[in-house]
Amino acid sequence: MTKAKTRKKPVSSREAVRIKQRRRGWLTFVRMCRYGINSFSRNAWLTVAATAVMSITLLIVFMTMSARQILLDTASNISKQADMSIYLKGDTPEKEINAIKSRIAKLDNVVGVKYVSAEEARDQQAKQYEDDPEALEAIKESSNEMSATLRVSVEDLNNQKSLENFIKTDKLYKKYKDPRQEPSFSGDRQQALKTVGDWVHLASIGGSIATVVFVVISSLVVFNTIRMAIFNRKDEIQMMKLIGAERSFIRGPFIVEAVMYGFIAAIIATIAGYSLLFFVREPMTRYGIPAEGLLSSLTMYVGLVLLAMIVIGAFIGVVSSWIATRKYLKL
């Protein structure tokens, strides 16, 4: 008994044409990449200049974003440490204090509420003046006048609406509030937060300006590099036109060359940026600047960071080369 021979289904002429076109397209793409890489290594000095300028551009982008995040983390830490002091009468019953504390804790933007009794406030004040007998005696005599304090930690110091509404409308709080002192933020911490916020704003503006300037410079360098490459390969391009080469095939190697600039510059800038951040980590930690969170995130997502840098570099290169080839390649 003989086995039936399996016959291959004949390929239609249309399908054969599509397969041939796909193979031709792939072969054309491979050739464009090869020509682009070869052109990348031809003009050594222009290649080094374009890659160096683009590396500086990407490094500035990297450091600007890193500095902005560190400043934001600093502002967040100060915001968590700052608090709003709400003063109650020193003889307020513990039941009512717990009720007021619970109501405040449920408000929007409130992170936590800490209660400091009148006795604790008196002891803290006494410690501050333990070297001054007269002031210490005055504190002891006025101990009954000390206020109980609720220290409210908030997520965003600029958002006080819920607390202000509570102070104005809550009847239980109004009954036991200390009429001698109005609720207020700690002045030093609020000023520190405002200073950091100003630095964040200035750093964002300055970093954005520097980034735009170097992106423009980098684009011009890549543009001029591609223009020089076009002029150097003028005879070769003319020959390709005569034999009927497509526009995409002639333009493609120049775009590949520009992408190579961005690719290599992204690797250099990423390595330099990580090295610089790890180098300054210890000094920043010594001065209380929260850099560990950023470094941990960057270490965890190093692949995504590198990919983002490559995309930015490739985008700059592609746009610059596309403009240059459109202007100087008479296709």
Q: Which amino acid is at 321?
A: S
What's this model's pTM, rounded to 2 decimal places? 0.66
Contacts of 317 (CB under 8 A, 6+ apart): 54, 222, 255, 258, 259, 260, 261, 262
- For residue 7, what is the DSSP state? P
Q: Mean of the pLDDT values across residues 249-256?
A: 79
Question: Is it the case that residue 151 has pLDDT exceeding 60?
Answer: yes
How confident is residue 46, by pLDDT bands cut at 50, 70 and 90? confident
Tokens for 197, please give them. 């916020």
The whole-number pLDDT of residue 2 equals 47
Percent of all residues in the chain with a pLDDT value above 70, rounded to a whole number: 74
Per residue in 265-322, pLDDT tens?
Answer: 999 999 999 999 888 888 888 877 778 888 888 888 989 999 999 999 888 888 888 8
**Percentages of the chain per state (helix, strand, coil), in multiples of 5:** 75, 5, 20
- The predicted pLDDT at position 131 comes to 60
Quick check: 31 pLDDT over 50?
Answer: yes
Q: Which strands form 148-154's sheet, in the order they lie side by side? A: 110-116, 148-154, 83-88, 184-185
What is the per-residue pLDDT for 306? Answer: 92
Burial environment of residue 253 by CB neighbours within 10 A (0 to 12, 13 to 18, 19 or more): buried
Which is more confident, 130 or 30?
30
pLDDT winner (highest mean) among 24-38, 75-89, 201-215, 298-312: 298-312
| Helix axes of 292-300 and 247-286: crossing angle, nearest 10 degrees | 150
